[in-house]
Structure 1
Amino acid sequence: MRKLTYGMNLSLDGYVSAAGDDISWGGPPSDELFQWWLDLERASSLTLYGRKLWETMSSYWPTGDQQPDATQAEIEFARNWRETPKVVFSSTIDKVDWNTRLVNGDAIAEITRLAAEDGGPMTIGGATLAGAAMRAGLIDEYVIATYPILVGGGTPFFTTLDSWVDLNLLETQTFPDGVVLTRYETKR
């Protein structure tokens, strides 16, 4: 069985984006937080994306290492992003690039199949896709980088669930600018 981790930056009131899919509220992460995310991505053998997050990531990271002001961590992130196998779940796009496979069928069936395979850990991103995996009980670990800002609405990190999910705290770390990262594992 492969471990599935859902992690994103979010506002203190629980949103990954503000109204209108605005993600500018977080600003660029500190070098330390960016390195933390890079290390998580390096440990992942497969990344699962919903359409919106895929479009955001694929609009920048294929050439992120070629930007004149790219830091060493950003250069490494871009290279890792291109090299890591990815699966995009969407019924509205018809082409993906950069070591990526498109799935336009049943996302939960495919995620369940991938999780049952032998292999390294997987990450999942995109609140809608992760919410479906959360409702299906497929998320093994949650990583939450909470920014000290209230955005008042938008896309929530957590979805509505039919029952409680008990979690164990694995890590708490404070980063510059008051960002607090917490990691939880699902009790099975």
Structure 2
Amino acid sequence: MRTLRFAMNASVDGYVAAPDGVLGWSVPSDEAFQWWSDRVDSTGLTLYGRRLWESMNAHWPTADRQPGATPAHVAYARRWRDMPKVVFSSTLDAVEGNARLVTGDAVAEIVRLKAGDGGPMDIGGATLAAAAMRAGLIDEYVIMTHPVLVGAGTPFFTALDEWAGLELVETRTFSGGLHLARYLVR
């Protein structure tokens, strides 16, 4: 059985995006960016909600060919392109690259994918992750906290019907004041 990990950048007040969807406050330090790149390299499959997919797919497919691309960005772009992806959307007609589209029941598809073989899966996008949280499908939470308050927006965590016990298994502080906390679900 595969594990499902939810990892995103978040503000100190718990938001993954500002009210207007802006993510500019969450630019990682070089050190934290390398951590994200290594994570992509160790991920067997990433599950994306539509909005995060559109944001990532607008940049990373060609980021390594942009003027001024750093070696770290080149490596991340290649890793991101190579990693298999599943995009969940009821409004998209197609996706491109190393991705496939799921338009039906997201929770049922995630259950099916978790039951399969392969490396760990990451889930990205607050709405998609919220559905997986409520269904009790997430095995690990990773929060990269940025030293900023955005005041409102899209929260990292959704409202749950019952408590979920977590075990803190890793903490790390990165340059620029970023703090990583990784929790396993008990």
Q: Distance in 1 between matches of 2:86 and 2:178?
A: 29
Q: CA deviation at 1:159?
A: 0.3
Residue 163 of structure 2 aligns to a residue whose secondary structure is coil
Aligned residue identity for 1:132: A
**Distance in 1 separating the partners of 2:141 and 2:66:** 31
For residue 148 of structure 2, what is the aligned residue in structure 1?
149
Shift of 1:91: 0.5
Deviation at 1:144, TM superposition (A): 0.4
Is the aligned partner of 1:38 residue 2:40? Answer: no
In structure 2, stretches of 5+ residues that fail to align are none
Letter of the 1:186 counterpart: V
Give the aligned partner of residue 162 of structure 2: 163
Q: CA deviation digits over 1:115-167, x for unaligned, max 9?
A: 00011110000000001001100101111000111111000000000000001
| Shift in Å, 1:169 | 0.6
User: What CA distance in whole angstroms lies between the structure 2 residues aligned with 1:119 and 1:174?
Assistant: 30
C-alpha separation in 2, matches of 1:138 and 1:132: 9
User: 2 CA distance for matches of 1:83 and 1:149?
Assistant: 32
Residue aligned with 1:92, SS: coil
Q: Which residue type is aligned with residue 146 of structure 1?
A: T
Q: Structure 1: how far apart are the matches of 2:70 and 2:180?
A: 22
Structure 1: runs of 5+ lacking an equivalent: none
> Counterparts of 1:81 and 1:178 in 2: how far apart (Å)?
26
* Paired residue total: 186
| Cα displacement string for residues 75-96 of structure 1 (whole angstroms, at most 9, x for unaligned residues) | 1111111111100000101110
Give the deviation of 1:43 after TM superposition.
Answer: 0.6
What is the SS of the residue equivalent to 1:177?
helix
SS, match of residue 54 in structure 1: helix
Deviation per CA, 1:9-63: give whole Å up to 9, x if none. Answer: 010000000111111122x311110010111111101010000000000000000
| Map of 2:88 onto structure 1 | 89
Deviation at 1:176, TM superposition (A): 1.1
Q: SS in structure 1 opposite 2:62?
A: helix
Counterpart amino acid of 1:16? Answer: V
What is the distance in 2 between the residues matched to 1:118 and 1:95? 25
Q: Distance in 1 between matches of 2:181 and 2:140?
A: 10
In the alignment, the residues of structure 1 paired with residue 19 and residue 135 of structure 2 have an alpha-carbon distance, to the nearest angstrom, of: 26
How does 1:1-188 map onto structure 2 within 5 Å?
1-26=1-26, 28-187=27-186
Distance in 2 (CA, whole Å) between partners of 1:31 and 1:79 is 17
TM-score relative to the length of structure 2:
0.98
Structure 1 length-normalised TM:
0.97
Seq. identity, %: 62
- The one-letter code matched in structure 2 to 1:178 is G
